[in-house]
Chain A
Amino acid sequence: MYTRSLLTRQLVYLAKKSNGAETAGFARFRSTASADGLQSQATSQPATAGGDSQITTAKDRKPKTNAPFAKNLFLGNFDKEMLVYPEIMDSKAIDVNAKIPEETLQAIKELGLFGQQIPQEYGGLGLNATKYARIAEITSQDGSIAVTLAAHQAIGLKGILIAGNEEQKQKYLPKLAVGEMTAAFCLTEPGSGSDAASIQTRATLSEDGKTFLLNGGKIWISNGGTADVFTVFAKTEVEVNGEKKDKVTAFIVERAFGGVTSGKPEDKLGIRGSNTCEVHFDNTPVPVENVLGEVGSGFKLAMNILNSGRFSMGSSGAGILKKLIGWTAEHATTRRQFGKHLSEFGLIKEKFARMAVTAYAMESMAYLTAGIIDMYEEPDCAVEAAMVKVFSSEGCWTCVSECLQILGGLGYMKEYPYERYLRDARILLIFEGTNEILRLFVALQGLQHAGKQLKELVKKLRNPLNNPGLVISTAWSRVRSRTSGGPAAKLRLNEDLHPTFKKEAMALEKGVGQFQMAVESVLTRHGNKVVDQQMELKRLADIVMDLYAMTSVLSRASRSYCIGLRNAEHEVMLAKTFCYEANRRVQTNMQELAKGSVANMDENYQHIADTIFKNGGFAAEHALARNW
């Protein structure tokens, strides 16, 4: 009965949509093949006045953009549509993809994996985000291949896809799709890693205005030694309101233009199969036609490119974890110590359970985000993608480490692949935006969004002497909600999930309400200076990450249980376990935020770090030091 009501609700949305009515929500259930029986129901709905309404596919008439879910969490607005897990477009294609085995680079090229996201008219596979994520699960079996592919298509040629004009697409995409040319993304320089605005590479326009001369050097470029097409970011002089300024511009640079030299491959800890090297440009002539987008719009393009490739780390991490859990489980069930199999010991069981829960959450988050990306023309989910990346990279690192731990000494040996996976997994926390930067990004984006609405309220709260009534009433309502065990549950999330998740839905709801109060208090406490309070921003980012993970996990588990997938009860248990742990983390972070920077040790951290810098190292005297 519950299932029917859920489906009916989806169909109502669908009908409203095909009616042409602009709704804030979106239809999730849009499969043609598996919904035959329901199609007639759709037409018989009284809401559809249009008679024979075609069920639209995602290709045509995609809505422009979505209401940003994570950013609205900062305001305490929970979009219940998120609790409806997206249905995959074409399940038959998924089966086919899952059978792709591991092969060498040539075989991969022949498969067309070098052009996964390139539209079919240019010779690529034309996959959408979800399918791309699904394939990433498989290509992640080998870290080096995954990184080579990602450097080529997720960032290397994404610029041409996003901002290239027709000529550029026609010229480059066909060759890139079949792997005849490889692409690379050149942004990082010795003096500018996270701070992308401070690059020094310059592109000066020639006298006749037809060529740019590129001068500078980039470091740590994946595929730098083998690539033929580079997306290079350089500073150009641009006139803005009559004033000359240096702005970043993106160029498509071919190695064939001349003046492009690459250094020797860097010796890395992990992903050693991926070619990473320095790339130098010495008066490289770049024709004006090769400017991507507008001159001076390179910075935004770089941010867009980087934001768009992040979410697939969730599915690739989950893919490799699932495989590793399988191998490790086999080991645990065969190895005997103290007269028992390892799998019978509590500590081992706990490790496996934690890994399974983390992998489940990673996967759920990744595909939920991929689903949103596929739904809209210009999806607003940079924050969600960042959260997926942070959660997945850290989860992957800890879980691979645990797998190695379970194997004990065997895991440490080079004969077994675990140490290689561990080394490969370490880079996940660093590239594609370091986790620290992404946490700040998540927190500040959300605060900016919330701040726009809360501006007036916060101004008044920060001026207590002029607004005593408001301050007192806000404080009173906060005290009341704290004593009554959290803010009143108004969202009724449990109605959108299977009844078995009532407790978790309540926890999620309370979490969202508390988060909104925490955001208000943080903004009130610091005002404009909140940008510098990085330790508080980190806590906010962790909270919203856990809330998003809880949402995706509950939504997926509820769907699985409702439609009766195999091992659905196991999924329910995974979901409940994850929600318990996530809720615990959320509550801890909230309490620390509420305590303030002295009681939660933030001030201590600052002082300790300052002393270390003043002392040039560890500042405490040796344990054996004497004073007289």
Chain B
Amino acid sequence: MAAVFSANRALHRVCARFGLQRLVACVNFGAPCPSNLFKRDIHFARTVRGRDDRSLETQRNLLVKSSSLFDELAAKRKVDKLTFNTALELYISKESLYRRGHVEFIYAAMQNMERFGVHRDLSVYKALLEVFPKGKLAARTVWQVEFMHFPKQQQCAIDLMDQMEDFGVIPDHDFGMRLEKVFGTDAHAFRKYRRMMYWMPKFKHANPYPVPKELPDDALQLALLALRRMSVDKETKLSVWQGPDITSETNEDTFIASAQSRTQQDLISKHDPNTALFVEGGYSCWLRHASTTYFILRADPDLAALKTWQAAEADSDQNLFDWTLFWENEEASQLVPNRSVHEQDDGTILGMTVTGTSTKDSLVTWIRCLQQANPSLEQIPIVFRLRTPDSQVQVIGSKPNDTGVQVANNQR
């Protein structure tokens, strides 16, 4: 019996988690699974069992009413945290006795949080917990605990905490106290809270290269952030040239952000003036939802030096202990090649840039600006190999493309 109960509970929980109440019903009654079971119902914990159309309609109406409250407030007042809190207070003051439709209200509030910009605010989530009626939802017997007392409300709280998890908001002790007052310490919802409190702090600093949550709107700041992230060399200096008419030919009003380190400047000064340098680009760098397009200044790899590095790195016992040590080595160590992080097998990266307009003119201006710190760039020929970020991508469709060549496709 206990095994059946626990299996049932587990299944109930899994299905409730994914909103698959209809599957639960089928499981309980042994009915065959209809095909539309796996469509997830939007934010709706809807138990089919024992519900009639009238109560479903009531639920739908309550949801519409709650949503409309938020829409009205958004239309009338400024869309911010104060307005959102006002909405909560309005509801509580109106439903001060019975808190009718509080689940629907909370779902509506959750849907509107991003609109009001409070989706990352812990205090708002705590205020939402206050919407639940107190003292009614907590389980009092073991059986109630097992069978998810007030499943709709608990599921609502679980969905609330899910949204917190999605946005990376870590609850605190105070949140737990409020949750406990509402559901008690044994509830499924509280267990979710405990799991969050265990895992989320552990993962908070796990990313060694974190992107800030609030990304700047300004393109220049984004560009600097992207360049700083991409620069491996700690000595990299970011320079910005800005202003109207900065480019020579088309007179654009744009900025040019450039990243270059001292090692790269040394490499440029040692570069043979007869060999060309390439400005390659249209690569994109993503920071969460924002992408910046960057270009690099690249030189072809020095094959002779590559071979010496590979020979040096290879563990060769041929000339064992045949050293010239630092007190016998008369040549300065900077002449002895020590491969820097910029010298890769496919080329040497000598600089990176992000411009506001990403046009060829801005890149030409960039090279001119670089010449201030790298005077030898004036003698070196520069070749521009520019592409837009998505020009290399070939869309594979079901029709042959214009050139008459059949392109392979996997989707039939």
Contacts and interface: CB of A to CB of B under 8 A. Distances in A.
Is chain B found bound to chain A in the same assembly? yes
Interface of A: 195, 197-198, 245, 247-248, 299, 303, 440-441, 444-445, 447-448, 451-452, 454-455, 458-459, 462-463, 523, 527-529, 531, 613, 627-628
Judged by DSSP, the binding face of B is loop
Interface of B: 170-172, 197, 200-201, 204-205, 234, 315-317, 319-323, 325-327, 329-334
B323 A528 contact: yes
Going nearest first, the 5 A-B pairs with the smallest beta carbon separation are A451-B321, A198-B332, A627-B201, A628-B170, A299-B330
Contacts of A440: 326
Nearest to A456: B320
Given A195-B333, A198-B332, A463-B317, 9 more contacts: A195-B332, A197-B331, A445-B325, A447-B321, A448-B323, A452-B321, A458-B321, A531-B323, A628-B204
Nearest to B325: A444
A195 B332 CA distance: 8
A13 B407 CA distance: 95
Contact of A527 (B201, B320, B329): B320
A454 B321 CA distance: 9
Given A448-B321, A628-B171, A628-B197, A528 B330 contact: no
Chain A CB within 10 A, most for which of B205, B320, B327: B327
B14 to A, nearest CB: 28
Contacts of B315: 527-529
B333 A197 contact: yes
Contact of B170 (A455, A458, A531, A627): A627
Chain B CB within 10 A, most for which of A448, A455, A463, A628: A628
Nearest to B315: A527
A528 B321 contact: yes
Nearest to B196: A628
A197 B330 contact: yes
A445 B319 CA distance: 17
Nearest to A194: B326
A441 B327 contact: yes
Contacts of A447: 321
A194 to B, nearest CB: 8
Contacts of B327: 303, 441
Chain A CB within 10 A, most for which of B204, B315, B330: B330
Given A195-B326, A198-B332, A527 B170 contact: no
B329 A197 contact: yes
A299 B332 CA distance: 11
Given A627-B201, A628-B170, A528 B334 contact: no
Contacts of B197: 628
B250 to A, nearest CB: 41
8 contacts: A197-B332, A198-B333, A440-B326, A447-B321, A448-B321, A458-B321, A528-B315, A531-B325
A182 B329 CA distance: 31
Given A195-B333, A628-B172, A459 B320 contact: yes
B321 A455 contact: yes
A198 B201 contact: no
A554 B40 CA distance: 88
A448 B328 CA distance: 12
A97 B326 CA distance: 39
B212 to A, nearest CB: 17
Contacts of B201: 627-628
Contacts of A627: 170, 201, 204-205
A444 B205 CA distance: 43
Nearest to A526: B315
A197 B325 CA distance: 12
Contacts of A195: 326, 332-333
Nearest to A299: B330
Contacts of A451: 320-321
A197 B324 CA distance: 13
Contacts of A613: 234
A448 B333 CA distance: 20
B100 to A, nearest CB: 34
A197 B330 CA distance: 5
Contacts of B330: 197, 247-248, 299
A461 to B, nearest CB: 10
Contact of A523 (B321, B325, B333): B321
B319 A528 contact: yes
Contacts of B325: 441, 444-445, 448, 531
Given A627-B170, A628-B171, A198 B321 contact: no
B333 A528 contact: no
A434 to B, nearest CB: 12
Chain B CB within 10 A, most for which of A197, A299, A303, A527: A197
Contacts of A529: 315
Nearest to B170: A628
Contacts of A454: 321
A462 B171 CA distance: 57
Nearest to B173: A628
A528 B234 CA distance: 30
A628 B171 CA distance: 7
Contacts of A247: 330
A428 B197 CA distance: 55
